[in-house]
Every structure is written in structure tokens, then in C-alpha cells.
Structure 1
């Protein structure tokens, strides 16, 4: 039986990081080449044909439009290659949920696309990178991984792009899924799905845009005024995501300023700075009168990605934007 052929797209991150110390806190991301990581996986005896391409060697805090465009194009090439059964993207954990959602919304949900990363650099005690990589190979090579959209594999757990989030700064089990939880548990030799693929035949929700509009996140705090909203509009923001208190709330003067932004043609989405929970349409905030959109299950980072894609498609009407957030 022929070994599964998997395309590896490397972007850097902690999984390719080195600190020069087994116990130190500091390290540099993207120091280990993808060829070296692939060689280590091969040395473990894993039965897979791994085809590496280096997209970037950066920390994921620096990932942006250029790298996203290259990733999207390379995944499309892999999807069109009948010899390739899946794609693994090595990625820093800070923005993994944003890259995963952006690709998930702009790719067909066919061949598995799996993001893997690490919470500890390669030379740290208890490094998790190679195990996550090996788990990613197990997921990407499994036919049952198809038609699930983009996946994130961290800590022996498989998450859907629409649900995954980084919920802790440095814990080895930093990733969680909300609202649907994980899709599967995985080790390098086993994979147990909790349910069947739910996106069979689903096509990309959005075409890849020519640019990603400027959408900013505004974090609410007690005693703040409307000046930050004015500043965001002043630098040309085409959308605003509120990381609000509790269920997406903010001081009344801020909500009034956001309502004025909507009337000027800038869509505004209310999300929450709280780690977990739904943000529904709210009578207290008066979403209907102000034209605000409730983020539902998406946190601020992913709400920003979805809103930017919507604005890029010319979708700015609050009702139409709300309909898209309701679908997540």
C-alpha cells in the first residue's frame, strides 16, 4: 500500500523555534527549517510521504496578507493535485485561529487542511511540537478527515476552525473549542472521531479577496469615551469589532459612537472580551436602533476575520452581516 502523500506548508512559529536553553522563557520562532522538522518526523518511522514547502519563518504575530495569500494559493494547488491526500500547515499559536478561519471560509471543505503548532520551542523540556506534527500527519492521512473544513491539531485534540481558540497564554493544553468542543482525539497511532463529517461537498463560502479591508478591534473598558471610535474612523477603518464587557457591552457613549459609525456606512460587530460565551442580539444595547451586529460564538479575533471578508465582498448592511454571523 502506497504511503499517503502530504504537502507541508511551513510558516515558522514556536514549533520551529529555538531558545538555546531547555528551561529559559525566551526563544526565537522560525529558527528550524521545515526540512529539518520533516527529517525528524521521518526518523520516527511514520509511514507518510511528506513534501515540504517553506512559506515563511516568522512568529505568527507577524503573519499577514502576504503570507495568507501564499498559503491559500499553495493549498489550492495541493487540492488540485490528485496525488496529495492532505495538507499540514506549521504555524505559531498566537494567530492560528485567525489563519484557520480565513482559510476555512475561502477553501472547499474537501481534502483535509491541518494546522499544527507548539506551545514550547523545540529545545525546551517537554516540547510538544513534534508530537503535534506527528498527530497532524495522522489526521491529514486519514480519509475520514475529509469534508470537515480546516482543522487545528494541538494537545492530542482535533478542533474545527470555526470553534478553535487559544484560551491560555502558555499552558501545554492552551486550545479549546467553543461552542461545539473538539472533533476528535488523536495520537500518532490512533484517531477517534466523535461524529461524522458535517460539511460533505461544501464549497468555499467566500472568494479569495484582492485585499483584506482594515477592520479594527476596540476593547471596551470602564470609564472610556468615544475618542477611540473616532480615531478608528479617522485612520480609515472599514469595519469595527467591539471586544465588549460581558455579553458585548460598552459605555453608552461608546455605543452611541459605534451607532454613528454604522450610519456612516461602517459595520460594527459586538463580541466579548470574556473567554467563552455567546453574544446574542441585545435589547439593553439596542442593536436594532444602533444597527449593531452580534458576533454570536465568534471571539474578537475571528469576528474581525469574518467581518473583513464580508466588507471585501461588499456586504456591509447590518442585517446581511448578522445573517453571516448567525451561520457560524
Structure 2
């Protein structure tokens, strides 16, 4: 059996980061280029043919829709290439869940697409990047990884893009999934899936657009007033994500302001600021013109709403139907 052909799209992040000392906490992300990184991977002797392409070399806090566009184009080309068996994207951990989600809903599911990062830079004691990448190679090489949407590999676990959330700032077990936890366990020598693929041969759910509408996130906290809403909403704003307390809750005064805006055409989605926040519809949502984010966190809810508005979907009921599918 021939070795798999994998395309590696590099965007930087901690996995490509370095510091002046192996024990320093501070470091510079995105310092190692894809050629140098793949040379280190080749020393591991893993049977695979790797081709690298540098898309960006940044800390993922600097991720932009323009970089998403370049990633999307490269991934679409690779998916259509019969020689390519799978795609790996190296990425910083701070926004990996957002990049994974936007690709998940704008790419077909016919080939494995796997994002991978590291919690420690390449110069650190206990660097986790090489093992994570070796695990990502195992996943991207497995034909059974297709049909599961975009995946993220971190800490010997495989997560679906819809579920993955970064919930710790330190440690190699920084990621979890909600409402599902990991969909598989992986090591460089073994891969176990929890169930069969659930999105076999799906086309892209949405067209990709780098020209996304303005959709800010309103963080709800004690003492917030309607004026906070006014500072976020401009004439260009098409929607707003409420990062609510509890199950997408907010003070009555803020709710009244958002109801008036929703009646004027602004799309309002209630999400939760909690790490495991499931937001169901309230009886008043229909009259208010609000949408419930369900299991999507505010960052992913924002991306989905932007894509929906960009696709010309503006009716709250139609938007709710798309959130219910996630």
C-alpha cells in the first residue's frame, strides 16, 4: 500500500513558535517556516508524503477573513486533486475553533481536513507540537476521517469543528468538546473513532465569503445598560450576538433595546457566555424576533450568522432553522 499524500497548510501559531529559552513562559508564535517544520517531521520516519504551503505565519489572535479565504481556496484545490489524500492545517490555538468552524460549513466532506496546534512552542521543554502533528497525520491519512466534517486534533483527542472549545490557557489538555466531547482518540500508532461518519459526501453547506457583514458580540455582565448596545451597533451592523448570562439571558432594559432593533431588521442571536451553554428558544423569542444559538458558543454563532446574512438569509425563522441543524 502506497504512502498517503498529505498537503500541509501552515498558518503559524504556537506550534511554529520559539523562545530564547526552553523554560521561558513568553515566546513568539509563527517563527518556524513550513519547510523547516516538515524537515523536523521527516526525522520521525512516519510513512507519508508531505507537501507544505505557507499561508500565513502569525499568532492566531491575528487571524482574518482574508487568511480564511486563502486557506479555503487552497483546501478546495486540494480536495479536487485526486492525488491528495488529506489536508492538515497548522494553526494557533486561540482561534482554531473559529477557523475550523468556518471551514467546516464551507467545505465539502469528501476528504479529511484536520487542524492541529500546540500549547507549547517548539523550543519549550515538553513541546507537544510534534506529537500533535504526528497524530494529525494519522487522522488525515485515514479514509474513515472523511464524512466527519473538519476535525481538530489536540492532546491525543479528535474533535469535531462544531464542538471544540479551548477552555484552559495552559497545559496540553486545554481543549474540550460541547455538546459532544471527543469523537475519537489518536496516537501516532493508533486511531479509534467513536461512531461512524455522520456527514458522508456532503457538499459545502454555505459559499465562502471573505466579505462578511458586521456582526459584533455583546458581552452581558452585571450593570450593563442599553447604551452598551448603542456603542456597538452602527449603520453598517447587520446582526448582533448576545453573549448572555446563563441560558442567553440579559437585563430587561437591554432586551427592550434589542427588541426594537430586531423589529427594525437587525438579527439578534442569544448565546451563552458559559463554557457549556446550551441555549433553547424562549416563548418570547418569536415575538421578539430573536434566534437561539443552541449549542454554538458566541464566536461560532457570529460566524454562522455572518455567513447566513451574506447568503441572503435574513428571516429569523430561517436563521433559527440553520442554528438548529448544528
TM-score by length of 2: 0.98
How much does 1:165 deviate? Answer: 1.0
Partner of residue 292 from structure 1, selected from 290, 293, 305: 290
SS in 1 for 2:20: coil
Corresponding residue of 2:153:
153
Hey, what's the Cα distance between the residues in 1 that align with 2:17 and 2:133? 14
The 1-side partners of 2:105 and 2:99 are apart by 10
Contact 1:110/1:148, CA 8 A, preserved across alignment: no
Does residue 85 of the first structure (1) align with residue 85 of the second (2)?
Answer: yes
From 310, 313, 321, the counterpart of 1:312: 310
Alignment deviations for residues 9-37 of structure 1 (CA, whole Å, 9 cap, x no partner) = 00000100011222211111100111111
In the TM superposition, what whole-angstrom CA distance separates every residue of 1:224-263 from its partner, at most 9, and x where no partner exists? 1011211222262211001000101011111111111211
Q: Which ranges in structure 2 are unaligned for 5 or more consecutive residues?
A: none
Q: Give, in angstroms, the shift of residue 325 of structure 1.
A: 0.4
Does the 8 Å CA contact 2:69/2:210 hold for their aligned counterparts? Answer: no
Report the RMSD for the aligned CA atoms in angstroms. 1.0
CA distance in 1, matches of 2:54, 2:251: 46
Please state whether the residue corresponding to 1:106 is helix, strand or coil. Answer: coil
Could you tell me how far apart the structure 2 residues matched to 1:279 and 1:210 are? 28
Unaligned runs of 5+ in 1: none
State how far apart, in whole Å, the 2-side matches of 1:234 and 1:3 are.
53
Write the distance in 1 (CA, Å) between the matches of 2:286 and 2:116. Answer: 40
CA contact (8 A) 2:68 2:210 kept: no
Task: Write out the 4+ residue segments of structure 1 that deviate beyond 4 Å after TM superposition.
Answer: none
The whole-number CA distance in structure 1 between the counterparts of 2:325 and 2:236 is 28
Q: How many residues in Structure 1 have an aligned counterpart in Structure 2? A: 326
Q: CA deviation at 1:66?
A: 1.1
d(CA) in 2 for partners of 1:171, 1:310: 36
Partners of 2:272 and 2:247 in 1: CA distance: 6
The 5 Å alignment of 1:1-328 reads: 1-209=1-209, 211-234=211-234, 236-283=236-283, 286-328=284-326
